[in-house]
């Protein structure tokens, strides 16, 4: 499917999706970058810190299923700005965690009140952020042809990298050293999120995201999607479950723990961590955008769409595997360079994953994205609490880093061995 609007408009919409993803990661990453001063100020353990992301993840899991059904019924035009506004408010409210917690635990200690406030804000953030992916993937499925979706999805996903590049710089310059000096970044980023709503409503008019075939593509030539609940559908969905759990565990591990790992395991100063974190996410953006252009280039040279996607996905998994080396490298330039290659691979996995999900159904994309998001975030949420406990017990990040590097290999095995041949044998570039 694809709308009849111009190519410039279609990629303009992809740019708006990039902006939403950027804001999502700005709200999400702020806590990771401020984890050390917050944990020091309130004496939170690593397990408590990991449990905050568990709360976000489980709320995301519940919300993904809910918003997946909702976007298929209502469409993303008005639902999308609503969820962006709500998650921006949740991010902003994090600055007032102590006050929020005190409303529910008036007789508790300040650390307990603040922790509850953080947890409530992270739960709200995760729930409303979960509406982003069903809305975004329905949008790219409607406005782009099959051969263009990997590029469009790479543009969408690259917002994660851009948000993650600018957030460390914003946090570094807005935070202060005194107690409570961590609050301003949360409020500033929350207010910025509200501004996205205006260009979205100006760009998307009524009917633009209706699911209808283009005039230039015959309906019979549309995506070769299997019948819902057919054997092919169930097999493809099972493969996607393995893929999304595997790649999400890898990406979410480094998102949550990388700044603390660099500070605690290798003694990097907060300024060094801020600038390297920005460099890390620049590298993720290179990997993400590079995959989109590489897939499009391979299709242009005669490769079928599925083969181009699988080969580039495998290459990204190979880069992510370098994380195993990170667990054994000492502080220094080699460690940082290897982490940059890992970064490119971990985010580069996502555009093709999203494109694989768009092969399953023409009309149930929101439900499929939501269900897969629920599964992925239950897995990563459980992981974060266990990772925190392991770090408290061993005082080492090595086990988590090694497992994070190995997980994408499982995704590759499932894709190469189990994806039905029927879905791969489609017209190039459609």
pLDDT for 10-21, tens place per residue?
889 999 999 999
For the question of whether the overall pTM of this predicted structure is more than 0.75, the answer is no
Query: CA-to-CA distance for 208 and 210, rounded, in angstroms?
Result: 6
* Torsion angle (degrees, nearest 10) of CA 357, 127, 185, 40: -110
Candidate from 3-17, 72-86, 174-188, 292-306 with smallest mean pLDDT: 3-17
Per-residue pLDDT of 228-281, as tens digits, reads 678 888 999 999 999 999 999 999 899 889 988 999 999 999 889 888 988 998
Query: CA-to-CA distance for 285 and 346, rounded, in angstroms?
Result: 10
Of residues 217 and 333, the one with the higher pLDDT is 333
**Residue 42 C-alpha from the chain's centroid:** 28
Quickly state the pLDDT bin for 8 (edges 50, 70, 90).
Answer: confident
Question: Domain spanning 7-210+226-417: which superfamily?
Answer: MFS general substrate transporter like domains (1.20.1250.20)
Residue 179: predicted pLDDT: 85
Domain map (residue ranges) of the chain:
7-210+226-417
Angle, CA 427 vertex, CA 422 and CA 428 arms, to 5°: 120
Residue pair 190/88 in contact by the 8 Å Cβ criterion: yes
Query: CA-to-CA distance for 156 and 397, rounded, in angstroms?
Result: 31
Per-residue pLDDT of 391-408, as tens digits, reads 989 999 999 999 999 999
């Amino acid at each position: 499917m694809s709308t009849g609007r111009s190519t410039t408009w279609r990629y303009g919409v992809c740019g708006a999706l990039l902006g939403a993803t950027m804001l999502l990661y700005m709200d999400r990453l702020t806590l990771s970058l401020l984890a050390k001063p917050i944990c020091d100020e309130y004496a939170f353990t690593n397990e408590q810190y990991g449990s905050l992301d568990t709360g976000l993840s489980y709320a995301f899991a519940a919300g993904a299923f809910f918003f997946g059904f909702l976007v298929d019924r209502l469409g993303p035009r008005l639902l999308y700005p609503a969820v962006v506004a709500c998650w921006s408010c949740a991010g902003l409210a994090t600055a007032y965690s102590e006050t929020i917690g005190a409303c529910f635990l008036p007789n508790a200690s300040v650390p307990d009140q603040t922790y509850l406030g953080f947890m409530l804000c992270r739960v709200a953030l995760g729930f409303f952020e979960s509406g982003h992916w069903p809305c975004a993937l329905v949008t790219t499925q409607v406005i782009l042809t099959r051969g263009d979706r990997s590029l469009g999805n790479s543009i969408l996903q690259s917002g994660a990298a851009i948000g993650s590049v600018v957030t460390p710089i914003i946090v570094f310059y807005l935070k202060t050293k005194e107690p409570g000096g961590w609050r301003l970044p949360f409020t500033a980023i929350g207010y910025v999120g509200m501004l996205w709503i205006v260009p979205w409503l100006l760009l998307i008019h009524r009917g633009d995201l209706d699911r209808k075939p283009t005039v230039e593509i015959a309906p019979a030539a549309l995506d070769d999607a299997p019948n819902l609940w057919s054997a092919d559908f169930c097999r493809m969905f099972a493969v996607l479950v393995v893929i999304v759990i595997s790649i999400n565990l890898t990406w979410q591990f480094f998102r949550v723990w990388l700044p603390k790992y660099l500070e605690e395991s290798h003694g990097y100063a907060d300024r060094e961590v801020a600038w390297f974190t920005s460099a890390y996410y620049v590298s993720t953006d290179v990997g993400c955008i590079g995959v989109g252009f590489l897939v499009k280039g391979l299709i242009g040279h005669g490769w079928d769409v599925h083969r181009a996607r699988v080969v580039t996905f495998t290459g990204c998994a190979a880069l992510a595997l370098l994380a195993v080396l990170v667990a054994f490298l000492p502080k220094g330039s080699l460690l940082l360079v290897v982490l940059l290659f890992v970064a490119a691979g971990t985010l580069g996995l996502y555009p093709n994953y999203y494109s694989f999900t768009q092969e399953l159904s023409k009309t149930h994309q929101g439900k499929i994205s939501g269900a897969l998001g629920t599964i992925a975030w239950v897995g990563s949420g459980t992981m974060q609490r266990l990772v925190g406990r392991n770090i408290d017990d061993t005082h080492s990040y090595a086990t988590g880093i090694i497992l994070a590097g190995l997980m994408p290999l499982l995704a590759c095995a499932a894709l190469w061995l189990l994806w039905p041949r029927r879905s791969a044998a489609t017209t190039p570039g459609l």
